[in-house]
Structure 1
């Protein structure tokens, strides 16, 4: 790389080679050693060496699988970037992403053959190789079986794109968040200044074992990479299922895991929770979506003192942490913790002036680990990153004790006659009712420039009535906040990465 710094994939491969016999990856009945993974990466990199190189971008059509991890590591080792559209997007949306990055190559996992072929029918012509057997495609894994395992020196330059994470793609131009290989150096420095915050790789119970049940194309994959590089084991689930998650924690003696709050609620609502041995857990990270204080208190009580909330953004990096010790104080569960030492924040008013303590405004942050920009969207990048500050789009305020309170996403506020409604606050109010397990609040245009508020509710027992919920909201927040209508649903739909899918709820309602 010319700077003496190693890329993250080089550091990971060095860690695997240092202890080749350790169990590094578990996927169903498959148990892979560290040395086996390193060899597979180098074999695939040798096989792809004449096809991709520094400056190229490869599209990976795959879900959670060992093959997806090996492919990403091999491509990055050769200095090329990778994008992996998440499974929750339609075939047409995934094809727009493949086209958007000008992919020189598509690697398609045979385990997702039908979806991959659907994507490719929508995409512009591009070279396609199969990770396994795909009809009419060369199986690059079979070709790599007899390739050399000799280590390849990383080809990347700091300025080359390492990864593009797309947050959308359902309509129009996809929004691709770009990281260069140099981003790894900045992010590593940030983590060192933050301390472990529960991400330690040593403990009384031996080497750590992390359960990854969320898409490896997003935060779950990054945490898994760090676990492998730190000498731990990753247990990989193909997709999240509350029962399978519980069984894996008990069976594999999991020490670390990560869930988005909607997924954590499904674990809490699963009938098998109280019959499952979760005593091996040391840290359960959660974040990526608003967390309800009542349900987090329930998780602390039923799962144990292992919860750690991490607030950050894909664009911005890490912002704040609510530690396991903080979770023992109920009054703090409505916050996202204290700002980490490496991050600066500013709460700004509409005029850009800084707001004082206790005053709401848009949160701007400077982390040192922000994205390198939106792919092919310099105007949007310039709007989002201003003089090194990332405009998060979150409404927040800081209390006298230094704890950060998130109110809502600016774009999620519902503009109603007489003011505006913060959806996250209203969801928390609805969930104060003991018969509400989850709630999603969103706005629908009413035709005169304002919106009306709707709520979708997952009821428990005793199930509330619409009048009871309306009365609760009126008492707590006022008549303006009472939803125009409330629908009761068996469960809230989720996006491919585990967030509540309000777009789908809104579409179903308007249809």
Structure 2
């Protein structure tokens, strides 16, 4: 029997790739440009520094940090030590962040100096053994990890991770109630990272990604892919459409990930038609439902570069709608989330667990190596979602005869009204196709008698002068009275979560109902 090769994590493989070309530009943040060699050295020094402080394998390192090069380095270093990494969303409230820090049993909290005050607030209620700053902060809440790392050797750190150790705990939700921590092992992470870059946009050599959404979400995973693929990542602290457009032109960006609401802001910015965006080879969008009308407009303006990715933290990648599938004259195809990825099985099932025929609506269930091992410290919820090897996504959708997946709603977002169900994405598609509407978000709100009513928040085209009754009449004509919103609210912009999704929980609260 052949001897099994020792396990190597995705971080080790990535650092090996960086050693092959240490002089190449790897990370750009403001005026700073780090080479592959500088970054690799920083990761190893950080790993040595963490162990010197007493941080040990199979414990949790939590990141409270923005889009810094050091954020990625700290994550890699912690994984080399064999730690599980949890990256907080920065825009969550302090009490929710403190609950997460406590829940995941944080041994070390690594803090961007910009968030030092928040870290002090968190640790007042949730003490942490080690608080480390990514640089010299104005507030003395712990030692400077970068200074500690500079005192350590750059010799490669012998990785301590084992295949079944937990690599990441990613949280979903968390704005109310007990946050759900999604567990991924090092073995799973290694498999996902080896297959993530299987398809490279045509004509792209060394990719250049712009990360303008939080590294705690999909941008962090995509940055890993580009780093390993021999490319460079340009980091922005936050999303600003004008700055993104300028950066694409200046840095010759080839890859960009945006959630649909941010893509719309990019297209609506006055500089969109004036900047040179010809370097783009792949603009990936996903994370929430997209408007076929707006996506068709994006294809016409940007060319065949759009790719929709459908996945979940729980399920991993599920399907992809390729650039070739983005035909502006086929809105039905643009409404889909593409074909199922290789190695992934998808079944659409009814409430009793029966498989449904093509075209029938039910819950999307997934089986793949990329699915989570479970929720952190929530066995009952894990058993509810993971059944007989299948992950129940909580998404309602259908498969067509050609194997394309279409997501029509989240189970929890579907609005139950007198006479049937209202799928929020269908109503959003309709509203977004109105010439006077730029964007919308639809959600249900319960009245005092617990009857659920349809509410819609609408961002109108500036100066269009749209009236609520005009939109209601359009809905009645095309979808019937059941879909007509009981209340329409006009906003200058939709509130977004840290990841860039419309914040429907906040919209419900504004409508007078707790989320």
Category of TM-score, reference length = shorter chain: over 0.9
Deviation, 1:463, is 3.4
- 2:434 alignment partner in structure 1: 433
Any residues of structure 2 matched to 1:413-428 within 5 Å, and which?
A: 413-428=414-429
Query: 2-side partners of 1:238 and 1:120: how far apart?
Result: 24
Q: Which of 154, 158, 176 is 1:153 aligned to?
A: 158
Describe the shift of the 1:320–1:206 C-alpha distance in structure 2 as closer, same or farther (beyond 3 A). Answer: closer
Query: 2-side partners of 1:122 and 1:226: how far apart?
Result: 37
Give 3-state SS (helix, strand or coil) of 1:274's partner: coil
Give 3-state SS (helix, strand or coil) of 1:487's partner: strand
Q: After superposition, give the CA deviation of every residue in 1:7-36 in whole Å (9 maximum; x if it has no partner).
A: 011111111111100000000110000000
Query: 2-side partners of 1:442 and 1:172: how far apart?
Result: 19
Deviation, 1:167, is 1.2
Deviation, 1:364, is 0.5
- 1:266 alignment partner in structure 2: 265
Query: 1-side partners of 2:190 and 2:78: how far apart?
Result: 19
Give 3-state SS (helix, strand or coil) of 1:105's partner: strand
Q: Which of 186, 192, 196 is 2:191 aligned to?
A: 186
- 1:321 alignment partner in structure 2: 320
Query: 2-side partners of 1:463 and 1:333: how far apart?
Result: 29
Query: How many residues are aligned here?
Result: 504
Query: 1-side partners of 2:75 and 2:128: how far apart?
Result: 22
Query: 1-side partners of 2:203 and 2:387: how far apart?
Result: 45
TM-score, structure 1 length as denominator?
Answer: 0.96
Q: Which of 100, 105, 112 is 2:103 aligned to?
A: 100
Any conservation in 1 of the 2:413–2:443 contact (CA below 8 Å)? yes
Query: 1-side partners of 2:108 and 2:34: how far apart?
Result: 27
- 2:458 alignment partner in structure 1: 457
- 1:38 alignment partner in structure 2: 40
Give 3-state SS (helix, strand or coil) of 2:106's partner: coil
Deviation, 1:191, is 4.1
Any residues of structure 2 matched to 1:177-326 within 5 Å, and which?
A: 177-188=182-193, 191=196, 195-196=198-199, 199=200, 204=203, 206-326=205-325
- 1:173 alignment partner in structure 2: 178
Q: Which of 139, 153, 172 is 2:144 aligned to?
A: 139
Q: After superposition, give the CA deviation of every residue in 1:209-266 in whole Å (9 maximum; x if it has no partner).
A: 1111111112110110111011100111111111111111111000111101011011
Query: 2-side partners of 1:127 and 1:402: how far apart?
Result: 50
Describe the shift of the 1:298–1:12 C-alpha distance in structure 2 as closer, same or farther (beyond 3 A). Answer: same
- 2:66 alignment partner in structure 1: 63
Query: 2-side partners of 1:424 and 1:121: how far apart?
Result: 42
- 1:339 alignment partner in structure 2: 340
Identify the range of structure 1 (345-354 vs 164-173) with the bigger mean alpha-carbon deviation: 164-173
Deviation, 1:125, is 4.4
Deviation, 1:128, is 1.2
Deviation, 1:498, is 0.4
Query: 2-side partners of 1:362 and 1:350: how far apart?
Result: 8
> Unpaired segments of 5 or more residues in structure 1?
none
Query: 2-side partners of 1:393 and 1:127: how far apart?
Result: 37
Deviation, 1:140, is 1.8
Give 3-state SS (helix, strand or coil) of 2:407's partner: strand
Query: 1-side partners of 2:306 and 2:405: how far apart?
Result: 17
Describe the shift of the 1:172–1:405 C-alpha distance in structure 2 as closer, same or farther (beyond 3 A). Answer: closer
Describe the shift of the 1:350–1:167 C-alpha distance in structure 2 as closer, same or farther (beyond 3 A). Answer: same
Query: 2-side partners of 1:393 and 1:24: how far apart?
Result: 38
Any conservation in 2 of the 1:190–1:342 contact (CA below 8 Å)? no
Q: After superposition, give the CA deviation of every residue in 1:105-149 in whole Å (9 maximum; x if it has no partner).
A: 111111322222222233234321222124332112112212100
Q: Which of 87, 92, 104 is 2:90 aligned to?
A: 87
Query: 1-side partners of 2:190 and 2:229: how far apart?
Result: 16
Q: Which of 484, 487, 490 is 1:485 aligned to?
A: 487
Q: Which of 122, 139, 147 is 1:119 aligned to?
A: 122
- 1:403 alignment partner in structure 2: 404
Query: 1-side partners of 2:40 and 2:322: how far apart?
Result: 34
Any conservation in 1 of the 2:167–2:189 contact (CA below 8 Å)? no
Any conservation in 2 of the 1:436–1:463 contact (CA below 8 Å)? no
